[in-house]
Amino acid sequence: MQPNTLLDALLDEAGISHAGLAAHVNQAGRARGLTLRYEHTAVARWLKGQRPRGQVPDLICEVLAGRLRRAVTLDDIGLGVPGGTSVQHGSPLSGFVERATALWRSDEQQRPHVIGAPAVTGTPAVMPVWEWENPPEDSDVSRDGRTRVSMADIKMLRAARAHYELMYRRAGGIATRSRIVGFLNSGAAPLLRGAYSDALGRQLHRATGGLVAVAGICAYDSDAHGLAQRYFHQALRLAKASGDRGLGAYVIALLVNQSLYMGEYRQAVAFAEAALRTAGRQITPALATDLYAMQAKAYAHLGDGGAALGRIRRAEEEAERILPGHEPDETGYVQPGLVNVQVAEALLCLGELRAAREHADAAAAVPSHDRGRVHRLAMLSQIELCQGEAERAARTAVEMTERARGMESQRLRDRLRAVRASLAANGSTPAAEAAEIIEGALRVPL
């Protein structure tokens, strides 16, 4: 189940509490000869994604329509035909826009049922990728609205994406998420509901898609995995509307990374393959490098050494084709050394310590922003421990910890915890001292 953000938004607009909606639904039911005894707990379940039975969805529409003094449909409250599309009058994207902006609003308001929603698996996780790959395409994304969108607005969205991505790298996703979500509500939502031609609309959807993807990254970095997934799915839909297959492949790379974290290794392989296949010539060498490297990690975890080594070779070939200045802004994270640390992780999983160490050393030797350096040093420290170099591993771990200080990131804390556990298990004095330093850093609350 996914949270019903549309119903949540309408309740807020109508000024009705959970208990108030339950009471009004019970009263409306009595007028139809129904005996209903709903309480606020039932409304909380509906907001979490449970579908009310029988005539109750229609009763909810009736109650809200009376309160808002306008027609309210099942699609409006997120209870349309299961599996159907919430297409409203105007652009086919209008229903999506309303659902997307409702999610941003609920996130900004810190709704627990939205922030704490688990990530979906199986068909609900795969369908957005399948829909991105396959027809129909958006033949016309123009829209009539009150606000006239201009190229200046597009440039503003692009600048905001770059700003928040940099903030994420420096401060972490936890600190950045509330800011970027606030901007989505105040800056992006009015533009998506505005007036624009098909050509300008495609640029608008692309710029917004890049921004929503960063919001997803921040949610992922905050351990809000269901929310992150929904942002990634939104970004993928916006990418399709823009017509930019390369942007879609970038968003799928984010889904691949999340799949790896969640241990969904076969899904990670399949998603990466979909991006490589569908984007075709629109995929850049940097993005192809990352996708192949992540596939290598997935295959390594699945125990398929041959496939992992094959993907490592493809990643290294693509890395040689990267031309600085010829990549889109979104793939700027594929910096020198990134493929090395990805490959090192895959090789470590396969038990190839010597080769893993060579790649980890190469990754650590290349300058990187602090966030990237933390990941590289974490990998190097763990490999050094595996090779019996406890003192060297301890020094590397201490440097890693210093780089991570001040960043509000659950993923970096995961890295620190993993290294701390490895050091503590080593038993040597240098390792124990380094583990204590990491423990001190982890005591600082986020």
Q: b/e string for 216-237 if b means 16 or more Cβ within 10 A? A: bbbbbbbbbbbbbbbbbbbbbb
pLDDT surpassing 80 at residue 81: no
Q: Which of 130-134, 152-156, 157-161 has the lowest mean pLDDT?
A: 130-134
Architecture of the 246-350 domain: Alpha Horseshoe (1.25)
Q: Is 196 helix (H, G, I), strand (E, B) or coil?
A: strand
- Of 52, 47, 173, 21, the closest CA to residue 112 belongs to 47
Q: What is the pLDDT of residues 14-55, one digit of tens each?
A: 899 999 999 999 999 998 999 999 999 999 999 999 999 889
Query: Residue 272: what residue type?
Result: A
Helix ranges (DSSP H) in 50-122: 56-68, 94-108, 112-115
Cα(340)–Cα(338) distance, rounded to whole angstroms?
Answer: 5
| Interior angle at CA 305, CA 424 and CA 267, nearest 5 | 85
Q: Is 402 exposed, middle or buried (0-12, 13-18, 19+ CB in 10 A)?
A: middle
Q: What is the pLDDT of residues 88-117, one digit of tens each?
A: 333 357 789 988 999 999 999 999 999 999
Per DSSP, 137 falls in state P
Confidence of residue 146 (pLDDT cuts 50, 70, 90): confident
Q: What is the pLDDT of residues 394-413, one digit of tens each?
A: 999 999 999 999 999 999 99
Q: 86 and 80 in contact (C-beta within 8 Å)?
A: yes
Cα(405)–Cα(236) distance, rounded to whole angstroms?
Answer: 33
The pTM is what?
0.88
pLDDT surpassing 60 at residue 87: no
Strand partners of residue 195: 148
CB-facing half-sphere around the CA of 5: CA atoms within 13 A: 25
- Of 262, 343, 333, the closest CA to residue 299 belongs to 343
| Interior angle at CA 96, CA 147 and CA 216, nearest 5 | 95
Distance of CA 357 to the CA centre of its chain: 30
pLDDT at 70: 86
pLDDT at 82: 53
Q: 363 and 380 in contact (C-beta within 8 Å)?
A: yes
Q: What is the pLDDT of residues 196-212, one digit of tens each?
A: 999 999 999 999 999 99
Q: 245 and 133 in contact (C-beta within 8 Å)?
A: no
How many residues appear in the chain? 446
Q: How crowded is residue 177: how many other Cβ atoms within 10 Å of its Cβ?
A: 30
Which residue intervals of the chain bear CATH 1.25.40? 246-350
Q: How crowded is residue 159: how many other Cβ atoms within 10 Å of its Cβ?
A: 11
Phi, psi (degrees; rounded to nearest 5) at 4: -90, 85
Q: How crowded is residue 58: how many other Cβ atoms within 10 Å of its Cβ?
A: 15
